[in-house]
Structure 1
Amino acid sequence: MLLSTPGKLARIAVLGACTLLVQAPCSAQDTKADDVVSTPEEIFDEIWGEFHDRYAFFELRGVDWDKQRETYKARVNSKTTDDELFSILSEMLAPLGDAHVNLIMKGEKRRAFCAEKTARFEREFSTDDLLKQFWSLVDGTLEARGFGESVKVAKVFHYRRNSDYGYLRITDLEGPKKKALDKGLDQILDALQDTQGLIIDIRANPGGTDDFVYRIMRRFADKKRVGHYKKTKKGPGDDEFGKLRTRHFEPGGDVRYAGKIVLLQNDASYSAADMFAMLMGDLPNVVSIGEHTNGVFSDMLVRKLPNGWKYTLSHQRYYSAAKVCYEGKGIPADHKVLNVRADLETGVDPVIPKALTLLTEEELSPR
């Protein structure tokens, strides 16, 4: 499918700049002069071959890659136009259903394709106007429960509070530099320090970087913990992966928060938001509401084709501290509450009242 939702367009716009992207070393064909364009058959073979060697999730995604070659290579010949080739490659990649698989045609006929399957939340709130109405609904639900005016900090944080609880929305998990991020978190957590509990909202969050997530996690960590394990696909064999690497997080920063936390998440919580949900879920004072996150953890490996097009693929397997891979499944919510378009008619975001109720439950004891 071609990119259509606001979320997809925002995510693909950062290709070439986002630090989640991993630029691979150039191959012999990558180093050709820009004015040297391979044949359609060679372009097809290069992208198919690179996925064959480096893509980490054919079995998980239920795709027979050899069968895809058999099906789609037959449609490519020396007379295949750029538009036709782009469509054929997009059709071949589509069954992967992976938001980190992208194909970008540059030049006058710029086109962009993402293999992502549209999230349920994005189908419900499928336009910019509907999404704006949704966040207005969230604001109204909070205001009706005594929450004050929202304060924007460090570009990606919006916080507010009532007499008992705090609310923090994180719109992206990248952007501010370390100094600005730390200063913003100090301001937010200082303002919310005396609350009985905190709601953190990462619904419809397009993601960002692991480093950004781990920088935030220092403020909520109770002790040094394993955050995740990761290994990278190195070759065509099913088991050709590099060494399993471990990353930890631990308490840090000038101001930290140790109270009860309810995390709001949905299937439009992507990539670094998946990671944030996974790490927060391991803390004893955190419970989640909503639905599973999207389930796209791998960094995007970026490749450039001889004709100037770019593509990305998922070449890493991430695992939780318990060594569970949530790729393609997402992090499940402890309590399932879905947002649907009909919520706009009721005038209430049903997730907020449930979150406030959970903050009063004994099993969510602060540390």
Structure 2
Amino acid sequence: MKVLIAILTLLTFSMSGTYVQAKENRKQPPPATAATERQLWQSKGYGHILEIEGQSVKVYSYTKDSLVPFGKGNIENNGDIYINEIYDNTKSLEQSNTPRFPMGRFVNGSLTDGLGYVQHLKRIDNLPKVKYNGFSNDPVQNFEVFWQSFEENFSFFPLVKVNWKEVYKEYRPKVGADTSEKELEDILTQMFQKLNDGHSVIFGKKGMIFSKTKVEREEFFEANSKSMQRNVEDGYMKGAVKSKLDGRIVYGQTKSGGAYIKLIGFDESDPQKIDQALAEMVQDLANCRNFMIDMRFNEGGEDFFGLKIAGLFAEKRKLAYAKQVRTGGYEQFSKPTQVYIEPGAKQFSADNIVVLTSPLTVSAGETGTMALKALDKVTVIGEKTCGYFSDMLLRLLPNKQLFSLSNERYTSPDCTNYEQRGLPPDEKIMIKQADIDAGKDPVMNRALELLKKKP
């Protein structure tokens, strides 16, 4: 999974997408935050505080017991907040070639992201007085902040059936003043791997440490993804394929004359680039009426990218899914925000649409699939998706250790939560090693059969 790529290209404090101005917010006046007055804003859920003074922005990670400086950036006159520096010790920003990352548009206590989803913040007079304040290498302090961050924000304790308080009792005695940095990282790893959560990650100095253990079919698709993609292009396509957005979008016509669109990833945050690429694809495939959308190798990125794909086929505004954030106890969440597919400025005229999925369909690839599944004329085939829906909430420990966790809940239009379970296809079709070795693809074959049906 392209977790690091997603973080470096889509960085907010919850990985929900960069700001694309929502229709309902276009006429809002510039916020009253570009003044010299120092303002403090505390989020509802998400566990961060913004300190705004003039055009300078500081961000803090907080729990009821801790306050840790997270990073700094600036706010522009229209309210767009950009983060220029994170205080982590992994040098993740230096490894990217992007000078700043959009957090969203801030207007009078509301922070709006690329979906039009709003985080709500309240004005506070002072930074909270807490037990653990600022940076520290103290092992006990870092353990406490890590545990408390999950205790206050992780969305799925009832789902994963892990008693986090018992985890505390088990591991807290193992940490003392003389615990080494490596020992502490090992302890934290053992704790959060009990959650088996796809978007919980520790960004260590030697690489990323994942909470989730890969299942057999994930490993199968990872090992065979290049061969499978090559088999599709060699055996099913009529002529050469075209590529857009550095290979994120690959498309062409099948030998039967239908359209094949492969979406490798949604990790592009520039909406103008996406719109241009999609417009060119619509023009190139204008004569096609049957569409195959291959999401089997889509490892995530921007949720709004997936909505734009669905918008190519939407005849009217349609509910894609709902999203909410944990705001209190384990079962306390904000009121669900409904996220809609809007018909695109450029569109296909489609009779039939078949979407292909696999255990490598991850994160924004899954929300994109959920959006497509909500449309008429769509059939989803293949295998269930991976089950990473929540955005990644980035946090910083006092020792500047960067980590993430899942703090949101996405539900389908029928109010089903597929976190950890994965989104099931309408028709399950397995591909085997013998198929791949023989240059065959039974999922593609079935898709072609379905596309022959009259609308």
Superposition TM-score tier, normalisation by shorter sequence: 0.7 to 0.9
Report if the CA contact (8 A) 1:222-1:258 is conserved. no
State which of 33, 37, 41 in structure 1 corresponds to 2:140.
Answer: 41
Displacement of 1:142 in angstroms is: 1.2
Q: Structure 1 17/72 Cα, relative in aligned 2: closer, same or farther at 3 Å?
A: farther
Query: Could you tell me which residue of structure 2 aligns to residue 3 of structure 1?
Result: none
Residue 115, structure 1, aligned to residue 211, structure 2: yes
Query: Could you tell me which residue of structure 2 aligns to residue 246 of structure 1?
Result: 338
Question: Which secondary structure state, in structure 2, belongs to the residue aligned with residue 164 of structure 1?
Answer: coil
Residue 194, structure 1, aligned to residue 287, structure 2: yes
Query: Could you tell me which residue of structure 1 aligns to residue 158 of structure 2?
Result: 59
Query: What CA deviation, in whole Å up to 9, does each residue of 1:116-175 have, x standing for no partner?
Result: 221443321444xx43222212222314xxx22111023211001045211000111131
State which of 244, 260, 267 in structure 1 corresponds to 2:359.
Answer: 267
> Which letter maps to 2:366?
D
Displacement of 1:13 in angstroms is: 4.4
Distance in 1, matches of 2:215 and 2:335, equals 32
Displacement of 1:62 in angstroms is: 2.0
Query: Could you tell me which residue of structure 2 aligns to residue 330 of structure 1?
Result: 422
> Which letter maps to 1:174?
D
Residue 284, structure 1, aligned to residue 376, structure 2: yes
Q: Structure 1 274/87 Cα, relative in aligned 2: closer, same or farther at 3 Å?
A: same
State how 1:99-248 maps to structure 2 within 5 Å.
99-106=198-205, 110-127=206-223, 130-143=224-237, 147-155=238-246, 156-161=248-253, 162=255, 164-175=257-268, 177-235=270-328, 237-248=329-340
Report if the CA contact (8 A) 2:318-2:375 is conserved. no
State which of 28, 31, 39 in structure 1 corresponds to 2:69.
Answer: 31
The farther-off stretch of 241-250 and 297-306 is 241-250
Query: What is the RMSD computed on CA atoms of the aligned residues?
Result: 2.1
Distance in 2, matches of 1:312 and 1:258, equals 40
- What is the TM-score when the length of structure 2 is the normalising length? 0.71
> Which letter maps to 1:49?
Q
Query: Could you tell me which residue of structure 1 aligns to residue 394 of structure 2?
Result: 302
Query: What CA deviation, in whole Å up to 9, does each residue of 1:169-207 have, x standing for no partner?
Result: 011113162222122112212222222311100112111
> Which letter maps to 1:167?
Y
Displacement of 1:73 in angstroms is: 1.7
Report if the CA contact (8 A) 1:295-1:328 is conserved. yes
Report if the CA contact (8 A) 2:202-2:404 is conserved. yes
- What is the TM-score when the length of structure 1 is the normalising length? 0.88
Question: Which secondary structure state, in structure 1, belongs to the residue aligned with residue 292 of structure 2?
Answer: strand
Question: Which secondary structure state, in structure 1, belongs to the residue aligned with residue 413 of structure 2?
Answer: coil
Q: Structure 1 60/333 Cα, relative in aligned 2: closer, same or farther at 3 Å?
A: same
Query: What CA deviation, in whole Å up to 9, does each residue of 1:90-134 have, x standing for no partner?
Result: 11111212110011124xxx332111221443321444xx43222
The farther-off stretch of 49-58 and 113-122 is 113-122
Displacement of 1:325 in angstroms is: 1.2
Runs of 4+ more than 4 Å apart: 32-36
Distance in 1, matches of 2:380 and 2:12, equals 25
Report if the CA contact (8 A) 2:314-2:375 is conserved. yes
State which of 92, 96, 112 in structure 1 corresponds to 2:195.
Answer: 96
Report if the CA contact (8 A) 2:9-2:269 is conserved. no
Residue 15, structure 1, aligned to residue 7, structure 2: yes
Distance in 2, matches of 1:231 and 1:58, equals 16
Report if the CA contact (8 A) 1:154-1:176 is conserved. no
Report if the CA contact (8 A) 1:56-1:316 is conserved. yes
> Which letter maps to 1:338?
M
> Which letter maps to 1:148?
G
Q: Structure 1 226/251 Cα, relative in aligned 2: closer, same or farther at 3 Å?
A: same
Question: Which secondary structure state, in structure 1, belongs to the residue aligned with residue 387 of structure 2?
Answer: coil
State how 1:49-88 maps to structure 2 within 5 Å.
49-88=148-187
Distance in 2, matches of 1:257 and 1:207, equals 26
Question: Which secondary structure state, in structure 2, belongs to the residue aligned with residue 135 of structure 1?
Answer: helix
The farther-off stretch of 337-346 and 48-57 is 337-346
> Which letter maps to 2:444?
I
Displacement of 1:71 in angstroms is: 1.8
Report if the CA contact (8 A) 2:311-2:347 is conserved. no
Q: Structure 1 19/51 Cα, relative in aligned 2: closer, same or farther at 3 Å?
A: same
Distance in 1, matches of 2:142 and 2:207, equals 16
Question: Which secondary structure state, in structure 2, belongs to the residue aligned with residue 325 of structure 1?
Answer: coil
Count of matched residue pairs: 346
Displacement of 1:69 in angstroms is: 1.3
Distance in 2, matches of 1:105 and 1:123, equals 23
Q: Give the gaps of 5 or more residues in structure 1.
A: 1-6
Report if the CA contact (8 A) 2:202-2:210 is conserved. yes
Identity, in percent, stands at 28
Query: What CA deviation, in whole Å up to 9, does each residue of 1:244-284 have, x standing for no partner?
Result: 21121221213334331110101110111110111111112
Question: Which secondary structure state, in structure 2, belongs to the residue aligned with residue 268 of structure 1?
Answer: coil
Q: Structure 1 105/29 Cα, relative in aligned 2: closer, same or farther at 3 Å?
A: farther
Q: Structure 1 165/14 Cα, relative in aligned 2: closer, same or farther at 3 Å?
A: closer
Report if the CA contact (8 A) 2:289-2:350 is conserved. no
Greater RCO, 1 or 2 (C-alpha within 8 Å, sep 6+): 1
Question: Which secondary structure state, in structure 2, belongs to the residue aligned with residue 99 of structure 1?
Answer: coil
The farther-off stretch of 337-346 and 67-76 is 337-346
